[in-house]
Each structure stands twice: as C-alpha cells, then as structure tokens.
Amino acid sequence: MNLRTVTAEIDLSALDHNLNTIKKMAPDSQVLAVLKANAYGHGLERIAKALPQADALGVARIDEALALRASGIIKPIVLLEGFFSKEDLAVIAVNNFQTIVHNQEQLNLICQAELDRPLKVWLKIDTGMHRLGINPDDFECFYQQLKQSKNVQNTLVLMSHLASADDVSNPSNEQQISLFNEISVGLPEQKSLSNSAGVCAWPTAHFQWIRPGLMLYGVSPMQHSFTQQALPQQTDNTNLAIQPVMTLKARLIAIRSLAKGEYVGYGGNWQSQQDSVIGVLAIGYGDGYPRHAENGTPVLLNGRRVTLVGRVSMDMITVDLGKDSSDKIGDIATLWGKDLPVEEVAQHATTIPYELLCNITRRVQMITV
Ligand SMILES: Cc1ncc(COP(=O)(O)O)c(C=O)c1O
C-alpha cells in the first residue's frame, strides 16, 4: 500500500451510492448537496466533481463557492449563510451564486444594490432553532420586499432548518414543520427544510429541496449508541444502506512489550493490567485524530479490534495489541471508516462525527479510491 504515514481513502463509489440512496428516500425532491468545511473534510473539489447527479451544491462561505467555480464547477451553488457586504453581492452576481437572506441587513443590502442581474434568493425563516432566519412575524414584509426587488429573481426558495431532526421523539420537529407550512401555505415558491436527519426521519419535511450533508458521506445522522461489541453490520448506517466515504488509516511504526503494572503515554494515564504488547500508530491530534479519545476507543488492525490506551499525542497513538500479538511494523490500522463507524469513534471521544471528519488536517494524504 502506498502509505506515507496517514491516509484518508475517499471512496467516490460510496459517495455515489449514498446520493442514490438519498434520492430514493426523497424521490420527489431536488438535492442540494452540502459541501461546506471542505466537504466535511473529504476535499471540496474532489467531492463536487463526483456529484454530477446533485442538483445544487451548498457551502457556508463565499471563498468555498469561489473555489468551486475556479475548479470549473458550473452547477448552482447556494451560500448557506448568505452575504455580508455589497462587495459580496457583486461577487455573487458575477459568479452566479444563489444566496440565502436571513436578516434585515441582508434585505437592505440586496434591495439597495446595483446589480447586473437579479439573484436567486433562498429566504430563511426561523421556525424554532433560533440560529439563523427571520422571525415568522416579519415574513410577510421580507417576502413582499424580495418579490418586488429588481435585484431578486421572480421565484424564491423558502427554507428553514430543523433543530432536532435526529431525535424522532422530540416534539419540536412537528412544531417546526407545522409552522413552516403555516407560513408558506398557498405561496408559489419552492420550499426546503430537511438536512440529512430530516431526509431520514421526517418525510413531511422533504418538500422540493432536501439539503443532505453528513449522510452523503456515509455517516448516520440519527442519534445512536454503540456498544463495544457492536458489529459493523449492526450499525445505523448499514441499516440506512449508506456507506462510509472516508476511511482513515495509519501505519504501525513500533511494537513494545509491556509488563503488567506499567504505564503508557503522557501522564501515564493507562496502566497495564497484565503483560501485553503495545503498538504505536503514526497518527495523532496533529492529523485530526481526537485528543480526547478515551482509553478503549476501538481501532481495527489485522481483522480485529484493538483498543486505544494512553493519551493521544500529536503524531502518535498507542494501542493494546494483546500479549499474543503477531502484528508487524508496517501493518496498517483503520481508525474509522469501512468496518469501523466514525459515529462509534466519535462517541468514545465525546464528540460528533461531523467534528472528526472536518478536523482532518492537511498533512493527511488524501487518496481517491
Ligand atoms: C442550512 C443547512 N442545511 C443543511 C445542512 C446539512 O446538515 P447535515 O450534515 O446534518 O445533513 C446544514 C449543515 O449544518 C445546514 O447548515
């Protein structure tokens, strides 16, 4: 295997498979594929080019949108946080980006601008998340002004965002869907409410545009809990028939015998309960492996699960190979991805898969497979 120290294998056939799965779940909706934060750590341009079937791409920042255009992407690109100045608006118009409007400042800027062409606007309404979006009481005023502005295309997309779509027992979902319907009833505009969890759990929130991110990358958006023994085929993402796109791998660079009672790593925060063999893998928080991964976090090596022991260092982690280990220096371990869900690793690091994927650093070698 061509491995320097750490690689993230990016499986584009899994990406394609996931998009098809999503389309089957919401057959009447168009797909805005969410590619912000370097396509959740998978490589913005690589992922954009591998999604010819997506109807539009969504990013958070104008720089991300510009990078897509610079790499030759001609698909519609939606700025999910909108714009912040009249200079931004000029860039949006020239590059034919679509933009969200979610506050009064943006409404003023867009209505007062001198633009060469009208922009496609997604009007974001706060139906209960209380992050971005206009107050429902202000909807009529925003809607009328946007509809009348020469700088805005004739048809808008009305959108909102679910705060707890991953929690099927949370009543706020139904409340947000009802409020969204109430506000937009009878209007001729397209609508959009669902992120990945909305696609999975809330069919009444699919509308004309779905906005999947996490699920595209083969990660379950639903709340779940793993046990140590959880087998890959029992995990949520297999039930959803999605496949992990990123598999993170690192090389075994040292093998050490350890006597019962000895300590491992900075601060000696793990003590061996029996004679064992410790493996050192060349990956650490400098690569994006979570520093807070706890003792016991699973790692795959030579067809079995071994566990992280001792503190995560900048460039290395240590794993307990067991006293009968026949592993060899140069063997390749999987930190997450195929056969080891990132959801499970995230749980051991008291974080979420989104953060682990986004945090992969530039020194990790990305390989498209
Ligand atoms: C407005 C909006 N829509 C869709 C998404 C995609 O969410 P997910 O990755 O959970 O599918 C995000 C991501 O946070 C978002 O901010």
**323, 339, 221, 343: which is closest to 277 by C-alpha?**
323
pLDDT tens for each residue of 126-143: 999 999 999 999 999 999
Residue 353 Cβ contacting ligand 1 at under 6 Å: no
Tell me the pTM.
0.94
CA separation for the pair 12, 280 (Å, rounded): 30
Question: pLDDT at position 234, please?
Answer: 34
Angle of the 86-95 helix axis to the 104-112 helix axis, nearest 10: 70
The single residue of 23, 36, 191, 249 carrying the catalytic annotation is 36
Residue 221 Cβ contacting ligand 1 at under 6 Å: yes
Residue 228, pLDDT > 50, answer no
CA separation for the pair 237, 226 (Å, rounded): 12
Question: pLDDT at position 233, please?
Answer: 36
Q: In a mutational test of the pocket of ligand 1, which residue from 31, 36, 78, 80 has the highest number of ligand atoms less than 8 Å from its CB?
A: 80
Locate 349 and state its tokens: 């690091």
**138, 65, 47: which is closest to 101 by C-alpha?**
138
Mean per-residue pLDDT for 181-185? 97
Residue 225, pLDDT > 80, answer no
CA separation for the pair 205, 195 (Å, rounded): 9
Residue 212 Cβ contacting ligand 1 at under 6 Å: yes
Cα-Cα end-to-end distance for the chain: 12
Asked if residue 194 lies in contact with residue 165, where contact means CB atoms within 8 angstroms, the answer is yes
DSSP 101-147: E-SHHHHHHHHH---SSPBPEEEEB-SS--SSSB-GGGHHHHHHHHH
- Other Cβ atoms less than 10 A from the Cβ of 72: the count is 9
pLDDT tens for each residue of 299-314: 999 999 999 999 999 9
Residue 334, pLDDT > 70, answer yes
In the block, residue with structure tokens 């706060």: 126
Locate 64 and state its tokens: 């991300």
